[in-house]
Amino acid sequence: MKIRDACAPERPPVTCPSCGSGIEDSPACCYCGSATLPDRRVSEVRLALCSVPAFLAAAVLLALAAGSQTRVTRIADLTPDGAFDHFRVAGTVTAVKLFPSRYPASGQYTVWVSDGTDPGEDGRGLKVKIEGEVFSEIQGAGRLPEAGDEIDVEGTLHVGEGFKTLSVNTAPMVRTVKKRGEVR
Amino acid sequence: MDFSMILQCTWVAVAGMALAAVASLIPGLHIYNVIALTMVIVFTVEEVFAGVDPMVLTCFLVGLVVGFSMLFTISSQFFQPCDDSARYIMLPHEKFLFDRRGHEAVLLASVGSLVAILFIGIIIPIIGPHMGFVREILRPHLYWIIGAVIVFLLMTEWPKDPGTGPTVATRMFDGWGSILMGYLCFLLSSALGIFTFYRTTIPVDAAFQSLMPVFVGLFAIPSQLVTILAAVAYPKQHVARSVELYGEDVIRGSASGLLAGMFASMTPSMTPGPAMLLSGHATVTGGDRQFIIGGGAGRVMYYVGALLFFFMPGVFLRRGGAAINISLVFIPETEAQYYVITGLIALTGGLSFLLMFGYSRMVLWIASKVNYKLISAAGMAVMIGLVYHVTSWQGLVIMTAATFLGLIPNYWHTRRITLLSVLLVPMFLNMSGLGSDVARWLGFM
C-alpha cells in the first residue's frame, strides 16, 4: 500500500491510453499490458498523416494516366514475341470485308491496314478484326472505317505461323484520323 | 485518357467506396456478394447502363473493393464477439475486444491496410513490368504449390483437448475427435467443391455466381448463427486516441501480410487465411500487434492486389471474384487504364483509411445501442435474401447444405480453414489433370 502525503497536491487519476482502466503512474498498464508512455505510442493524428503518401501517389498516377498514350508500333515490328499483348498501329485502310450475321451483335468486320512497313501475307497489310458488340457499336455510331481511310487502331495481337491479326476489344480503340479524300 | 473521363472515374470510385462503407456495416457480408448484386442489377437493367462506359462501371467496382477491404472487418470486430464455448481459439483482435481495446485493434489493422495501399500505389507500379515474368515462372508449378498448401493445412491440424479425460479411451477420443472432424470437413468440403465445379444446380443465368451460396453457407451463416447463439457480453470499449506501435511491428507484420497477399493473389483458389498461416510461419511473426497488422495488410493485398493484376499490362491475371465479375463487362487494355485504376486504388485507400477513424467510433456507438445478436440476425437475413435473389431456390439448397458443413468446426472445435478445400482441392485436381476423373468417380459427370 502506498502512503500519500495528505498535504501533497491531488494528482489527476491516470488512465491507460489503450483500455481506459484507472492505473497508477506506470510505464505499462496492469490490466491490458500495453505501454503507457507517450514515446511508445503513435497518436491518431500522426497515423492520419501517414496517409498523405497515398494521396500523392494517386495524384502522380492519375497525372500519368492523363498523359499516357499507347505507343504506335510499326506493323513490321509486330512479332510473335508480342503475341496477346496490346498494340497500337496507324496506317491506311487498304481493304475491308463485312461478314453479316443473322444474329444481332455478332457480325464481323475486317479491315486491312498498311503503314508501308510490312505488306502482310496477301500484300494488303495487317488484318484488323472488329467483331460482335464492338462492331455493332461502331456501326451504330457510323464510324466503320472504309478503304482509303487513315486510321489509328489498338487491340490484342494474335500472331503465329503465317498469320498476324489485331483484334479490337472496345469501340473507342478504333479512331479514324482522316476519311478517304478528306483534305486537312 | 481524357481528363473528363478520369474525373468521372474518380467520382464513381469514391461513390463505390461510400457504398462499401454502408455495406461493411453488415457483419459477415462479403465484398463479392455485393459485387454479385451490383452485376445482377447491371444485367437486369442493361438498357440503363447501355450508355455508360465500361471503364466507369469498373472504377465503381474498384472503389467498392478497396473500401470494403479496408472497412469490412470493423463491423466484425464489434458485432461478432468470440464465444469461447463455440470456439477453441481466440484471435488477437478478439482478445483486444475483451481488453476494451477494440478500437485500438481497428487502428492496428488499418495501419497494415494502409501499408498495403502504399505498396500497391508506389511499389507495384515500379515492379509491375516484372510481374508477368514472375507469373510465367510460377504458372507450370502452381498445381503442386496448391497441393503442398493442402498438405500443410492437414499436417497442422492438432488435438485441441487438454487430455484430462478419466480413461485412455476418452482421452484418445477427445484428442482425435477434433482432428478427425477436421479431416471430415476437408473431405466433405472437397466433395462439395467438385460438385460445384462439375454439376452445380445453380441456374445457368446465375452460373457466374455458383460459388456464392457455397461460401455464404460455409463461412458467413455459421458465424452469424454462432454470434446469435453466443452468450457473451464484452466490456464497454475505450476509444484510444493513440496506439502502442513500434517500427518492428509495422515492418514484420506488414511484410508477413504483403507476402501472404501476394501469394494468394498470384495462386488460384488461395485466400488470405491459409496464405497468412503460411507466411506467418515463413516470416516468424510474433505478437498480437504483428498478427493484426499482418491481417490488415494481407487482406488488402489479396483483394485489391489481385484485382490490380487484372489491369496490369503484360499480366492481365484474372484472379478473385472481383476480377472475374469485372471481366464480364470490361477488358483491360492500355497503360492509361492501369494508371487510372492504380491511382484510384491509392486515392480510395487513403480516403478509407481516414474514414476509418470515425467509422470505428460509429460502429462502436451502434454496438452500444443495438444488441449485436440483432445485427447478426439482420445480416443473416440480408445474406439469405441475397443468395435467393441471385441464385434462386437452388442456391438456397446448396447454401443450407454448406451451412451444416460450416457448423461442424464450431461444434467440434476444429479449424475452419479446412473448409477452404472447397476451392483448393478441385483446383488442384483440375490443374493436375485429374479433376474430371475424380468427378466421374464421384458420380458428378
Mutate to test the interface with B, among A45, A88, A170, A173 (most CBs of B within 10 A): A170
**Facing A61 at nearest CB: one of B104, B245, B343:** B343
Separation of alpha carbons B49 and B255, rounded Å: 41
Distances (CA, A) of B203 to B26, B39, B215: 27, 16, 17
Q: What is the mean pLDDT of residues A21-34?
A: 85
B96 → chain A, closest CA residue: A32
Domain regions of chain B by residue span: 3-441
pLDDT at B78: 87
Question: Measured on CA atoms in the order B417, B422, B427, B433, is the torsion positive or negative?
Answer: positive
Mean pLDDT of chain A: 85
Separation of alpha carbons B395 and B387, rounded Å: 6
B1 → chain A, closest CA residue: A66
A85 → chain B, closest CA residue: B314
pLDDT at B84: 67
Distance from CA of A75 to the nearest CA of B (A): 18
pLDDT at B131: 80
Q: Please check whether the domain covering A75-178 is classified as CATH 1.10.760.10.
A: no
| A1 pLDDT higher than 60 | no
Domain regions of chain A by residue span: 14-66, 75-178
Distance from CA of A60 to the nearest CA of B (A): 8
One-letter amino acid for residue A51 of the chain: S
Separation of alpha carbons A40 and A16, rounded Å: 13
Q: Are B428 and B146 in contact (CB under 8 A)?
A: yes
* A135 against A55, higher pLDDT: A55
**Crossing angle, helix B142-155 and helix B272-283, to 10 degrees?**
80
Give per-10-residue mean pLDDT for chain B (445 aa).
Answer: 87 93 86 77 71 84 92 87 70 88 94 96 86 83 92 87 83 87 94 91 81 91 88 86 92 95 88 88 89 94 89 78 81 86 96 96 92 90 90 92 92 88 94 92 88
The tens digit of pLDDT for each residue in A85-104 reads 888 999 999 988 888 766 66
Distance from CA of B58 to the nearest CA of A (A): 14
